[in-house]
């Protein structure tokens, strides 16, 4: 069976749209309507007129799309596609964190559950985190679950104390200073582009730090011919496809989010055909989480192009 042709047929038949994160298996781009980072995809989910949204990504992304579009059917091709970072904080852990730092506004990374979003003041993604924290005009903010992104935001702003929860992305957190030193030794003078989910000691050595789309835009606007990439492999795969005349070196092997890679064309075909797995969110939690996400969308001027 030619899955690409069959998926295109099903999309038309069912008025479905496919949103794909740029960490997905690259062949998924052949059937995706929008490919990009978390901010761009949430903006596209909020705008779509489709009846069905199929999210080629992980659970919190599909859940966010459902919160933004409660009347639409939202599908996740593989229900096991979770996010290790989002799972690092649950509602009782959030309540404990907030209680310990009473009265300080709480910013949650979009990589969090609906329950956690429902009790935070505002949401952010990696591309607008600095802008969102700044928009609060507060001397102190709580930031969760990603301590690395929180530290990076604090460094960019300079005048805000960012109190971070002890969570991280295991894939990005695994990149070390030794990795940077080694790759730089092998590739002297080549720019290092890193995601802000990397440790502070890694981002402080990078030539550019930004979201997945930010990294891709940096390459687009640069005349350099070679780059070192410090984020999940999906970004390097797409850069190699889009800029065959340039060279991209991934900072280390196995920078792979296994959860992101669970979705395949076969799963997407089954998902559209059988309308599985449908994402549902409790009405009350959904409304509160929507307020948190909408505050971000309204505060963020940051656009993320495909
Ligand atoms: P962005 O999509 O904001 O670059 O975040 C990357 C990520 O880890 C998504 O899970
Ligand atoms: Fe979560 Fe990290 Fe995978 Fe993104 S790359 S989905 S943050 S585990």
194 lines ligand 2 (CB under 6 A): no
- pLDDT confidence of residue 227: 99
Q: Which two tokens stand for residue 192?
A: 């290092």
Reduce the secondary structure of 3-30 to three states and give it as a string. Answer: HHHHHHHHHHHHCEEEEEECCCCHHHHH
Distance, CA 194 to ligand 2 centroid (Å)?
A: 15
Beta bridge partners of 55: 19
Average pLDDT in the 217-224 region? Answer: 98
61 lines ligand 2 (CB under 6 A): no
Interval 284-297: pLDDT, tens: 999 999 999 999 99
Mutate to test the pocket of ligand 1, among 24, 45, 86, 125 (most ligand atoms within 8 A of CB): 125
Give the C-alpha distances (Å, rounded to integers) separating 238 from 116, 255, 283: 32, 14, 37
- pLDDT confidence of residue 300: 78
Distance, CA 91 to ligand 2 centroid (Å)?
A: 19
CA 275 to chain centroid, in Å, comes to 24
Radius of gyration in angstroms for the set of CA atoms belonging to the chain, rounded to a whole number? 19
At residue 176, does pLDDT exceed 90?
Answer: yes
257 lines ligand 2 (CB under 6 A): yes
- pLDDT confidence of residue 302: 60
Percentage of the chain lying above the pLDDT 90 cut: 97
Measured from the Cβ of residue 156, the count of other Cβ atoms closer than 10 Å reads 17
- pLDDT confidence of residue 303: 53
Beta bridge partners of 167: 146
- Per DSSP, the residues of 171-207 read HHHT--HHHHHHHHHHSTT-EEEE-TTS-HHHHTT-S
**Alpha carbon distance 305, 44 (integer Å):** 11
Mutate to test the pocket of ligand 2, among 38, 83, 87, 165 (most ligand atoms within 8 A of CB): 83
Interval 48-86: pLDDT, tens: 999 999 999 999 999 999 999 999 999 999 999 999 999
Average pLDDT in the 8-21 region? Answer: 98
Task: Give the sign of the dihedral formed by CA 168, CA 170, CA 171, CA 175.
Answer: positive
Q: Residue 189's pLDDT band (boundaries 50, 70, 90)?
A: very high
């Amino acid at each position: 069976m030619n899955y690409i042709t069959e998926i295109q047929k099903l999309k038309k038949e069912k008025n479905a749209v496919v949103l794909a994160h740029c960490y997905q298996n690259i062949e998924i781009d052949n059937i995706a309507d929008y490919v990009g980072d978390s901010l761009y995809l949430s903006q596209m989910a909020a705008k779509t007129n489709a009846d069905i949204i199929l999210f080629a990504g992980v659970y919190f992304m599909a859940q966010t799309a459902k919160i933004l579009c409660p009347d639409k059917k939202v599908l996740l091709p593989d229900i096991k596609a979770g996010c290790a970072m989002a799972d690092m904080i649950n509602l009782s852990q959030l309540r404990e964190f907030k209680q310990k730092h009473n009265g300080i506004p709480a910013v949650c990374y979009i990589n969090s559950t609906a329950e956690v979003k429902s009790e935070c003041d505002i949401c952010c993604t990696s591309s607008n985190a600095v802008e969102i924290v700044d928009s609060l005009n507060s001397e102190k903010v709580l930031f969760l679950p990603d301590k690395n992104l929180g530290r990076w935001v604090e460094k960019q702003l300079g005048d805000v104390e960012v109190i971070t929860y002890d969570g991280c992305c295991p894939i990005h957190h695994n990149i070390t200073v030794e990795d940077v030193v080694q790759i730089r030794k092998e590739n002297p003078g080549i720019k290092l582009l890193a995601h802000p989910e990397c440790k502070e000691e890694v981002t402080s050595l990078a030539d550019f730090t930004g979201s997945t789309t930010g990294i891709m835009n940096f390459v687009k606007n640069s005349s350099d011919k070679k780059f070192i990439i410090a984020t999940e492999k999906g970004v390097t795969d797409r850069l190699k496809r889009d800029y065959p005349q340039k060279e991209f070196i991934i900072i280390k092997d196995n920078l792979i989010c296994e959860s992101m890679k669970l979705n395949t064309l076969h799963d997407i075909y089954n998902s559209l055909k059988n309308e599985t797995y449908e994402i549902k969110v409790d009405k009350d939690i959904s409304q509160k989480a929507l307020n948190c996400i909408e505050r971000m969308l309204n505060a963020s001027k940051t656009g993320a192009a495909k």
